[in-house]
Amino acid sequence: MLSARSIFQEIIENDDAFRLFCSIAAAGESQGGWENGRIAALVPGSMSDLAPKIARHGADEDKHGRIFNALLKKRGLEPVDVPPECDYTMLLEQRGIGLSHEKLRGSAPLTERDVVVYLAHSRVTEQRAAEQMNTLVRYVGEQAGIGRAVRMICHDEDNHLAYCHEELLRLAAQGHARTIHAVLRESALAEIRVYREVGLAVLGHMGRLLHWPKAKTSLLAAGANGLHGYERLGGWHRMVSLSMPERRNALGGPAPAAAEYA
Q: Could you report the per-residue pLDDT of 133-189, keeping only the tens digit for each?
A: 999 999 999 888 899 999 999 999 999 999 999 999 999 999 999 999 999 999 999
The pLDDT value recorded for residue 96 is: 86
Residue 9 sits in a domain whose CATH number is 1.20.1260.10
| CA nearest to 248, candidates 156, 167, 153 | 167
Please tell me the distance from the alpha carbon of residue 188 to that of residue 172, in angstroms, as a whole number. 18
Query: pLDDT tens-digit profile of 224-261?
Result: 999 999 999 999 999 999 999 999 999 986 665 544 55
Residues 79, 66, 188, 205: what is their CA dihedral angle, to the nearest 10 degrees?
Answer: 20
The pLDDT value recorded for residue 255 is: 61
Cβ-contact 36, 55 below 8 angstroms: yes
249 occurs within a structural domain: no
254 occurs within a structural domain: no
258 occurs within a structural domain: no
262 occurs within a structural domain: no
259 occurs within a structural domain: no
Helical ranges in 75-174 per DSSP H? 88-94, 101-105, 112-140, 147-171
200 occurs within a structural domain: yes
3-state secondary structure of 97: coil
Flag whether pLDDT at 13 surpasses 80: yes
Chain centre distance of CA 66: 15
Please tell me the distance from the alpha carbon of residue 27 to that of residue 35, in angstroms, as a whole number. 12
The pLDDT value recorded for residue 260 is: 53
| Confidence label for 262 from pLDDT (cuts 50, 70 and 90) | very low
Query: pLDDT tens-digit profile of 123-139?
Result: 999 999 999 999 999 99
77 occurs within a structural domain: yes
Query: pLDDT tens-digit profile of 91-118?
Result: 999 998 889 999 999 999 999 999 999 9
245 occurs within a structural domain: no
Please tell me the distance from the alpha carbon of residue 254 to that of residue 190, in angstroms, as a whole number. 33
Q: Residue 235: which domain range?
A: 4-239
Report the amino acid identity of residue 207.
Answer: G
Q: State the total domains in the chain.
A: 1
